[in-house]
Structure 1
Amino acid sequence: MTDPSPPARRLRRAVRGVVYGVFYRLPPVLRRRIVRLTVRTYVVGAVVLLHDADRPGRLLLLRQPPGRGWTLPAGLLKKGEEPRRGAARELAEETGIALPPDALRPANPNAMVHTRGWIDLVFEAAVPADGVRPVVDGAEVLEAAWHEVADLPPLTVATARLLGHYGLGPRAEPRGDTRGSPREGGESPREGPA
């Protein structure tokens, strides 16, 4: 099978952009319902905390449609997909930064269990920010940029909560006993299915 022509790719990208734009404007309850209708079991996502290896204290964040807040590279795992591989796939799809799954290490805690049937598996990695250039498609992700943890842009509520569990951002929690998964109501870092 040959690659589609450039006009066909542009059309497909434009259609994807419209679909994602509409999807992310839906209320979280409706987005969750749509995902549950298409996914037969509970929802498992993978989230990547990508740190700047050369300048500690910087994270890669994404802005998605409709662009009201910044979030982390994340998405749903495919059925039967190994979580680390899924996290690496989502990172590459959303940012163009391709890392081997072995480069991702489980964050501590690794699983964020949300009360509404959503589980996020969180991984960390570090790359030199000057050595990689994020590339976004403009449909699912509008912008990717490195930000100082001490001076983060406006975050989605769920992203602020998730970062807080790791002692980062405006909702930073003390880094005491991290055995076991914190339980937090609400959505995934995407404010719903990605």
Structure 2
Amino acid sequence: MSDSEVHEAVGRPRTAAGVLFFDEVGRVLLVRPTYKPGWEIPGGYLHPGETPSEGAAREVREEIGITPPIGRLLVADWAPHPAEGDKLLFVFDGGVLPADERARIVLDGVEVDRFAFHRADQIDGLLIPRLARRVHAAIGARARSVTVYLENGVGFGVGG
């Protein structure tokens, strides 16, 4: 088998990473992208050679201008997109952002033009369904101190 045949047989998903941040009452930080409707969690696609945690930290810095430590992995989600192909998406725990850290948030104004903290019961009305499922799973994983594997935002196997 030639090198090109081997490479064709290997999956090459688009990989992205995001971070869940909370305020003191447990609400989740969401950002509003400028380039599409709806809300997201801070994060985005990885650069070549970048680890998921590095990409998550970079995206947080670029989008909302803060550099808090990125915590443990909460979710890995295999989520193919009909138009964009296979995706592997990671969600990390950013923990509780204290008031002084929240005061330092500066939006990039290019990719993100607004941020707000939302209760978990508001997420379904703000996020696209597959992201809402992923965020709910991440909130649950954080509460149980586990990491979950999802497929299209749905639990799969142990811990799902």
TM-score by length of 1: 0.59
> Percent identical across equivalent pairs?
33
Q: Who is 1:105 aligned against?
A: 72
| TM superposition shift of 1:151 | 3.6
Q: Distance in 2 between matches of 1:97 and 1:167?
A: 21
Pairing 1:85–2:57 present: no
1:44 equivalent to 2:12? Answer no
- Whichever residue aligns with residue 93 of structure 2, its letter is E
State the secondary structure of the residue aligned to 1:138.
Answer: coil
**For residues 179 and 163 of structure 1, what CA distance do their matches in structure 2 show?**
13
Per-residue CA distance 1:132-184 (angstroms, 9 max, x = gap):
2321122100111222223446223332122233357xxxxxx99x7762211
In 2 relative to 1, CA 128–48 (structure 1 residues): closer, same or farther, beyond 3 Å?
Answer: closer
SS of residue paired to 1:137: coil
The 1:130/1:67 distance shift into structure 2, 3 A limit, reads farther
Aligned to 2:109: 138
SS at match of 1:50: strand
Unaligned 5+ segments in structure 2 are 1-11, 154-160
TM-score, with length taken from structure 2: 0.70
- Name the CA distance, whole Å, in 2 between partners of 1:51 and 1:87: 16
- Is the contact between residue 129 and residue 146 of structure 1 (CA under 8 Å) also seen in structure 2? no
Aligned-pair Cα RMSD in Å:
2.6
Match of 2:64 in 1: 95
Rounded to whole Å, the distance in 1 between the matches of 2:113 and 2:77 is 26
Match of 1:172 in 2: none
Partners of 2:148 and 2:95 lie apart in 1 by 24
1:99-178 to 2 correspondences below 5 Å: 99-100=68-69, 103-107=70-74, 110-115=75-80, 116-132=85-101, 133=103, 134-152=105-123, 154-166=126-138
**Which residue in 1 is equivalent to 2:3?**
none
Following the alignment from structure 1 to structure 2, what is the Cα–Cα distance between the partners of residues 139 and 94?
8
- The change in CA–CA distance for 1:180 and 1:167 in structure 2 (over 3 A counts) is closer
Name the counterpart of 2:149.
181
Q: Is the 8 A contact 1:67 1:142 kept in 2?
A: no
Distance 1:167 1:59, change over 3 A: closer
- Corresponding residue for 1:171? none
Gaps of 5+ in 1: 1-40, 169-174, 186-194
More strand as a share of residues: 2
Spell out the pairing of 1:56-95 with structure 2 (5 A cutoff).
Answer: 57-66=26-35, 68-95=37-64
